[in-house]
Structure 1
Amino acid sequence: MELNLNAEVLQAYGYTSENININQIGTGLINRTYLLSPVFEENKFILQNINTSVFKHPQSIAGNLKLIGNYLATNYPDYLFIKPVSTISGEEMAFVNGEYWRLLPYIPHTVSLEVLNEPQQAYEAAKQFAKLSRLLADFETTTLQETIPGFHNLSLRVDQFQDALKLASPELKTIAKQQIDDANSQKHLLDYFNSYSHRKDFPNRVMHHDTKISNVLLDAETFKGICVIDLDTIMPGKFISDLGDMMRTYLCAFSENETDLGKINIRLPYFEAMIKAYLSEMKSILTETEKELILFSGKYMIYMQAIRFLTDFLNGNIYYPVSYSTQNLDRAKNQFKLLHELSVNEKELQDIIESNL
């Protein structure tokens, strides 16, 4: 803990190191996170340092959260939307020594999971992400800013892959030949998306963009969903971003770091729970085009992540942290296998979707 730095940050919110206890928490790779426990108050807070290497314009995060928070407070006052606490000077963030910090209320009696252990947890998580999308269905998305430009832009990711391929060494291209072939053979997914992208009934919506299970708070006793957290990436996007990312991260029992590809399989009960929950909230507002693209959303997001890992491998592992030189290639293999499994099980998965529409 850098106490000298944090002393100034604490002062921005009216605290000092003498009247508050500080503990570093969380396993996130992006932002440093601390639990603040004021000595003479019952309320606790989460203090986060915003990683400006990833989020180049933190003001856009603060602006988005303020707009959405005000909208929800006006239209759905009972909804728990965790927006930042203002500094004592009324700012959305504290700017200290060239770094941005924000303070969030801590929600007691809740937990967040790192790993899904049963389908009901997938149900609760999907329902919370879908509920937020539903409540914001009439929100004017053009008022929001992109906090990570091009984050889920598959066309951009394919272009970055092609650029990396041109510059990669012959050795890396030889090692990754099968995955390069896989990436090129699946490019039709981008063409398919583009054939829909200009339809009037394929709108931009307010999307979370990072729907992993750890970004949902559950009741510590009942494990019922409470709300979504980690709202840095909330911005305009297609419904594909949230639902597809849930498919990518919920459907397999193993993460993208698993190297035994025989373990990469689709868990049908988790898919069914997720789809049932998502559509229980979103079915009434999804357009016909969006309904057509429900299963495709998983293909889109898995393919995009596969080529992002492959691109980083070809670039020399400059974006994703690795513990060995071919880890990003192994991650790409993992995601291409998951994409294959989604296709192999397509009929059964589509039947589950149809039964819930």
Structure 2
Amino acid sequence: MTPEDCKQCKNVHSYINLSYTLLTPSQITDIAAQFQFATDGISFRTLHSGHIHDTYLLECGSSRYVLQRVNHLVFKSPETVMENIRKATAFQLEYFRSQQINAVIPELVMTRSGSSFLKDDSGNYWRAFTYIPDTVSFEEVQTPEQAYEAARMFGFFVRSLQDLSAEELQETIPAFHNAFSRRKAFLQAILTGLPDRIKTAATEITFFEARGHIADKIASLLHQKDVPLRIVHNDTKISNVLMAASTGKGVCAIDLDTVMPGTLLYDFGDMMRTFLSPAAEDETDLDKVQIRMDVFESLAKGYWSEVGEWITKAERDNLVFGGMLMTYIMGIRFLTDFLQGDVYYKIYRPTHNLDRSRTQMRLLSLMEIHRGEMEAIISGL
């Protein structure tokens, strides 16, 4: 399996430990036959990528496709997910055509009955996409050039959808980046969580309690409509960008399960959160958690090259705040799960979620230190 094989079928919650009953080859072939593929001769192999969806690479003559069984335990309304993807990709393709832009994206393959998804007799949901060859993706940002290209692709993604009203799409995961809801759950966990864990995490609890103003600020910006709702990606890790294998140039953003109304601050902020530090999200040596300013500058330039001509002043002024927001949200999500006994995220050691929250705490502290420097870079674009 090559990197390009396994990256066009990413999922959003790589920590959640859920599984489905395995299907026989004949069952998968029967499912595949119900989609409008190029030929009746279908072969496939399993792609072992992610922990949510079951994914297969299909070969139909000289053509290849990605077939997925959607995990409806995570995405509780697969119909909504698929309708959002259908609308977003159709809008993008029309945008490419009208603007005469030579761009490619994974396109939905309809079922033979004309639907964007198939619901089988067991209640499972299936979907298929065209496969984009000669591409790779990366699990982490290794160079400023990669940061630039990934950010440019996420910027291009929202630019291609800027004229699609936020009212056209629905939430696929309610309150996904809702800082107020995440803060409320965190405060509740402090009151009702496991007593020994509350004691162990006293320092982390104090840190995040003191930054509740972050949740208040984004709520105010959205309520006053200083920062408009737009159709955004909502999961802007570098692994959700395909890049040309030969040149390293960005090709397209993938994994549209979370495409829904949101703000540019979410997308830019999550790039900051996941791009800037070379350390793993669960790194225990916090000295390794750093902010690479050359990566930030490239990220900012790549994103700005696509959105700079049309975003609002309030969006521009709060891009760096977006990084603090997303780091705060993920920090309290990890800490909440630790306090509650690790009921959501998959763990491999007793303090895994606490370790994750500590990396976010360290990263947020560094963002606070370097905020002025980063905002100066944005102002200079």
The question of whether the paired residues in 2 share the 8 Å contact of 1:65 and 1:83 is answered with: no
- Cross-structure match for 2:128: 103
Distance 1:200 1:14 in 2: 43
The question of whether the paired residues in 2 share the 8 Å contact of 1:240 and 1:298 is answered with: yes
1:321 aligns with 2:343: no
Select the residue among 87, 90, 101 that pairs with 1:67. Answer: 87
Please report how far the alpha carbon of residue 135 of structure 1 lies from its aligned counterpart in structure 2 after TM superposition.
1.8
Select the residue among 109, 118, 121 that pairs with 1:85. Answer: 109
Distance 2:145 2:31 in 1: 40
SS in 2 for 1:92: coil
1:8 aligns with 2:8: no
- Cross-structure match for 2:218: 193
1:31 aligns with 2:31: no
- Cross-structure match for 1:165: 190
Distance 1:182 1:141 in 2: 34
The question of whether the paired residues in 1 share the 8 Å contact of 2:242 and 2:251 is answered with: yes
Select the residue among 229, 248, 252 that pairs with 1:204. Answer: 229
Distance 1:186 1:301 in 2: 12
The question of whether the paired residues in 2 share the 8 Å contact of 1:14 and 1:88 is answered with: yes
Please report how far the alpha carbon of residue 188 of structure 1 lies from its aligned counterpart in structure 2 after TM superposition.
1.3
SS in 2 for 1:35: strand
Distance 1:193 1:95 in 2: 38
1:126 aligns with 2:151: yes
TM-score by length of 2: 0.89
The question of whether the paired residues in 1 share the 8 Å contact of 2:134 and 2:245 is answered with: yes
The question of whether the paired residues in 2 share the 8 Å contact of 1:49 and 1:100 is answered with: yes
2:33 maps to a residue whose letter is Q
Please report how far the alpha carbon of residue 14 of structure 1 lies from its aligned counterpart in structure 2 after TM superposition.
6.1
2:262 maps to a residue whose letter is G
1:270 maps to a residue whose letter is V
1:355 maps to a residue whose letter is G
The question of whether the paired residues in 2 share the 8 Å contact of 1:249 and 1:255 is answered with: no
SS in 1 for 2:63: coil
Distance 2:316 2:157 in 1: 18
1:51 aligns with 2:71: yes
Distance 1:269 1:154 in 2: 29
Distance 1:200 1:150 in 2: 18
Please report how far the alpha carbon of residue 324 of structure 1 lies from its aligned counterpart in structure 2 after TM superposition.
1.1
Select the residue among 130, 137, 141 that pairs with 1:112. Answer: 137
1:252 aligns with 2:273: no
TM-score by length of 1: 0.95
Say what the alpha-carbon RMSD is for the aligned residues. Answer: 1.8
Provide Cα deviations, 1:178-236, integer angstroms capped at 9, x if missing partner.
Answer: 11111101111112223322233411111100111111010011010000111111001
Please report how far the alpha carbon of residue 136 of structure 1 lies from its aligned counterpart in structure 2 after TM superposition.
1.2
- Cross-structure match for 2:359: 334
Please report how far the alpha carbon of residue 4 of structure 1 lies from its aligned counterpart in structure 2 after TM superposition.
4.5
Distance 2:69 2:341 in 1: 28
- Cross-structure match for 2:118: 94
Which runs of 5 or more structure 2 residues have no equivalent in the other structure? 1-21
Select the residue among 294, 307, 325 that pairs with 2:332. Answer: 307
- Cross-structure match for 2:380: 355
Number of residue equivalences: 354
Distance 1:126 1:223 in 2: 13
1:85 maps to a residue whose letter is V
The percentage of counterpart residues that share the same residue type is 39
The question of whether the paired residues in 1 share the 8 Å contact of 2:55 and 2:69 is answered with: yes
4+ runs of 1 displaced by more than 4 Å?
A: none
Distance 2:117 2:376 in 1: 47
Provide Cα deviations, 1:281-303, integer angstroms capped at 9, x if missing partner.
Answer: 11111111111101100000000
Distance 1:209 1:323 in 2: 26
Distance 2:340 2:26 in 1: 38
Provide Cα deviations, 1:20-59, integer angstroms capped at 9, x if missing partner.
Answer: 2222224322222211112xx2110111111112110011
Provide Cα deviations, 1:306-326, integer angstroms capped at 9, x if missing partner.
Answer: 000001111111111000111
SS in 2 for 1:74: helix
Provide Cα deviations, 1:54-104, integer angstroms capped at 9, x if missing partner.
Answer: 110011111112222222232322442323200111111111221111111
SS in 1 for 2:33: helix
